[in-house]
A and B are shown apart, each in its own frame.
Chain A
Amino acid sequence: MSQNTRSNPAFFAVIALLVFMSVGPVILMLANSFKLDVDIISGTGGLLFLPTIQNYETALCDVLWYEPDHLDFCALKFGGAFVNSLIIALISTVLTLVIGCMAAYALVRFRFMGRDTVSLSTLMVRMVPPAVLLVPVFGLWNNEFCLDKDGLIGGAIRDMVGGRGDVCLAGTHSGIILIYVAMNLPFVIWILQSFIVQVPRSLEEAARVDGAGPFQVFFKVVLPLIKPGLAAAAIFTFRIAWNEYLLASALSDRNTKTVPILIVNNMSEFNVEWGVIMATGMLLAIPPIIFTLMASRQIITGMTAGAVKG
């Protein structure tokens, strides 16, 4: 039976259609990001057109080493936003992984809390939509998580950065990083647990007999063995931190804007410059696309570990 269906042309047509449907919009965006707005609006050419990098030049004008001819004023500060996104996503990924890994290890190996409790509470925390966190995080980061400007550290920072008021978490990179780490931790702990469970206990005991302390066992024995899990967790954390819009928009100021905020702000203008917007969108999409192409196996492992084993 399976022999018949395998050579069935209709079956291949279905697959081709599926691939076309899932990749098509991305290709379309890529193509449009190399078109001038006139061409996008008039719709001439379809896939046959003269590619131009003008849109990318407009988007990246604040980091280019030359001044593009078609531009007299650099309005879009994409480069700065890209750097912000990179800083926030990378630091929060590293922090989440280190902290989550330690917690997952403790939960599995020392069993002072049931695995079910953790799975359940992870699910509960995963249930909380970012929109629900918006109000309290906005309030707390602006009003409560502050250093008094008259205090020692707060005063020093205020003197360094300038401005009035107290020194608050809102508007800083660390403020956004903190909420991302907290948001991603449950998921990372959940995934890593399912990998750590598979590390044979005897290996660790052997290391301990040889005189390794608990930290050495963790870093030298356990960590190398759960690399695939770490990769999966890293990609998922990075993806969320890189793509998130809502909380970043509530917490960032002019200097800490991330790329998604920039795109949404430009989309809500009356006249959408499609070419430039598509170019920025493409730039935002490129890192996750690269990850997907390079590490799809790990991504799939991570996804299935989260649901199938959890």
Chain B
Amino acid sequence: MRTAMANRLTPYMFMAPAVVIMAIALLYPLGYMVWGSFRDWNPSQSIGEAEFVGLKNYITLWGDPNFHESLGVTLRFAFFVVSIEMVLGVGLALLLDRDIRGMSVLRTMFILPMMIAPVVVGLMWRYMYHPTIGTFNRFLESIGLPKVDWLGDHALTSIIIADIWQWTPFIFILSLAALQSLPRSALEAARIDGATGWQQIIHIKLPLMMPVLIVTGLLRLIDAFKVLEVILVMTNGGPGLSTEILALRISRTATEFRELGVAAAMSNYLLILLLLLTVAMFAFTRIQEARAARLRMAAEDD
């Protein structure tokens, strides 16, 4: 009798620590943030002392040109980073999908950039982009080309390049795994039917990889909104606001301008944006799946 009781309680006992910790340190803070975003709140006050101002923070932000600029930078950064990385990563996977001796060594080297701390990545690239002592400008100088003001005039491009360096391998490795788990029979059949390499890629490999590619793209997109340390170290959002992505703006609003309420409201905008993107991606996948299923049904009816 007692063992039966214990057995019934086991799953809850196994779950309890995780649930408690996530409730205390994730869900409660998120709720706290929503609550705080309606207040005029600075770091020296506790939330109870802060004055309730209703939607004022949200409305101020909605009309704030700096916030618009920052939002634009974030969206541009995320868009370019994800699309370039997807093209490069999937392209490389298609190119390198063959049995090369030492493939595991290659993969080890490719994941190295991802494992290194973002702070260190920012540090390395800030050095390489340095106007006088940096590697790139030295190289340009040595072959007689004019110097480029990497982190000045071209700051956004420069941080996009650094992110591509760090995260293209992620997409490469996931799409390589997807490629290698494709059903051999489909590829075999295509080859026998005389499909060229390109035809195989476009009509067979890419469609079959699509589910994995969508998940990968989504994960990368979510992460692109989280990038902060690399940019913080490289440009600290400058020059002007040209690289100040939302995550960075939130942290500066909270720590430099000491406006926790506004930072909380901004965090909420960012969360809503991410939620919309995720839901849109999911809906898109579902629609695609439904269409594929309909096509299959139609094909079977014939």
| Contacts from A to B (Cβ < 8 Å) | 1-2, 5-6, 14-15, 18-19, 21-23, 25-26, 28-29, 32, 40-41, 43, 99-100, 102-103, 105-107, 109-110, 112, 123-140, 142-144, 178-179, 181-183, 185-186, 189, 213-214, 218, 239, 242-243, 245-246, 250, 260, 263-264, 267-268, 274, 277-278, 281-282, 284-285, 288-289, 291-293, 296-297, 299-300, 303-304, 306-308, 310
Contact between A132 and B250, CB atoms less than 8 A apart: yes
Nearest CB on B from A111, distance (A): 9
Contact between B115 and A307, CB atoms less than 8 A apart: no
Give chain B residues whose Cβ lies under 8 Å from the Cβ of A123. Answer: 278
Contact between A138 and B11, CB atoms less than 8 A apart: no
Contact between B109 and A134, CB atoms less than 8 A apart: no
Contact between B278 and A135, CB atoms less than 8 A apart: no
Q: How many angstroms between the C-alpha atoms of A297 and B103 in the bound complex? A: 11
Q: How many angstroms between the C-alpha atoms of A182 and B222 in the bound complex? A: 18
Contact between B25 and A128, CB atoms less than 8 A apart: no
Contact between B133 and A178, CB atoms less than 8 A apart: no
Contact with A along B262-302 (1 / 0, CB 8 A): 01100100110011001000000000000000000000000
Nearest CB on A from B64, distance (A): 17
Tell me the nearest residue of chain A to B249, going by C-beta. A131
Contact between A300 and B29, CB atoms less than 8 A apart: no
Nearest CB on B from A205, distance (A): 13
Contact between A103 and B271, CB atoms less than 8 A apart: no
Give the interface segment out of B79-87, B119-127, B144-152.
B119-127
Contact between A22 and B127, CB atoms less than 8 A apart: no
Give chain A residues whose Cβ lies under 8 Å from the Cβ of B32. Answer: 136, 139-140, 144
Contact between A214 and B119, CB atoms less than 8 A apart: no
Contact between B111 and A308, CB atoms less than 8 A apart: no
Give chain A residues whose Cβ lies under 8 Å from the Cβ of B247. Answer: 129-132
Contact between B21 and A128, CB atoms less than 8 A apart: no
Nearest CB on A from B12, distance (A): 8
Interface residues on B, range: 35 or more
B202 within 8 A of A: no
Q: Which 6 residue pairs spanning A and B have beta carbons closest together?
A: A182-B25, A131-B247, A243-B117, A136-B29, A106-B14, A103-B18
Give chain B residues whose Cβ lies under 8 Å from the Cβ of A242. Answer: 117
B59 within 8 A of A: no
State which of B19, B24, B251 has its C-beta within 8 Å of the C-beta of A131: B251
Residues B89-141 near A (CB distance < 8 A):
92, 95-96, 98, 100, 104, 106-113, 115-120, 122-128, 133, 135, 138
Not counting A22-B169, A28-B128, a sample of 10 additional A-B residue pairs whose C-beta atoms are within 8 angstroms of each other reads A43-B133, A129-B226, A131-B267, A133-B33, A135-B250, A260-B117, A284-B117, A284-B120, A296-B111, A307-B215
Nearest CB on A from B271, distance (A): 6
Contact with A along B1-27 (1 / 0, CB 8 A): 001001100111011011101101110
Give chain A residues whose Cβ lies under 8 Å from the Cβ of B128. Answer: 25, 28
Give chain A residues whose Cβ lies under 8 Å from the Cβ of B119. Answer: 243, 245, 260, 263-264, 281, 284
B52 within 8 A of A: no
Tell me the nearest residue of chain A to B212, going by C-beta. A308
Given A292-B108, A296-B111, A299-B115, are A25 and B264 also a contact pair (CB < 8 Å)?
no
Give chain B residues whose Cβ lies under 8 Å from the Cβ of A134. Answer: 250-251, 254, 263, 267
Tell me the nearest residue of chain B to A42, going by C-beta. B133
Contact between B115 and A291, CB atoms less than 8 A apart: yes
Tell me the nearest residue of chain A to B29, going by C-beta. A136
Contact with A along B219-244 (1 / 0, CB 8 A): 10010011011001100100000000
- Please name 19 pairs of A and B residues whose Cβ atoms are closer than 8 Å in the assembled complex, sorted by A: A1-B197, A19-B106, A25-B124, A29-B123, A102-B18, A103-B17, A103-B19, A110-B11, A128-B30, A132-B271, A136-B30, A136-B36, A144-B32, A245-B232, A264-B233, A281-B119, A288-B116, A289-B112, A304-B177
Give chain A residues whose Cβ lies under 8 Å from the Cβ of B246. Answer: 131
Contact with A along B27-48 (1 / 0, CB 8 A): 0111011001000010100110
Q: How many angstroms between the C-alpha atoms of A125 and B113 in the bound complex? A: 25
Contact between B271 and A128, CB atoms less than 8 A apart: yes
Nearest CB on A from B226, distance (A): 4
Give chain A residues whose Cβ lies under 8 Å from the Cβ of B278. Answer: 123-124, 127
Q: How many angstroms between the C-alpha atoms of A26 and B138 in the bound complex? A: 18
Residue of B14, B108, B109, B248 with highest tally of chain A CB at under 10 A = B14
Residues B142-198 near A (CB distance < 8 A):
165, 169-170, 173-174, 177-178, 181, 197
Given A14-B95, A28-B135, are A263 and B251 also a contact pair (CB < 8 Å)?
no
State which of B46, B116, B173 has its C-beta within 8 Å of the C-beta of A143: B46
Give chain A residues whose Cβ lies under 8 Å from the Cβ of B60. Answer: none
Tell me the nearest residue of chain B to A181, going by C-beta. B21
Give chain B residues whose Cβ lies under 8 Å from the Cβ of A14. Answer: 95
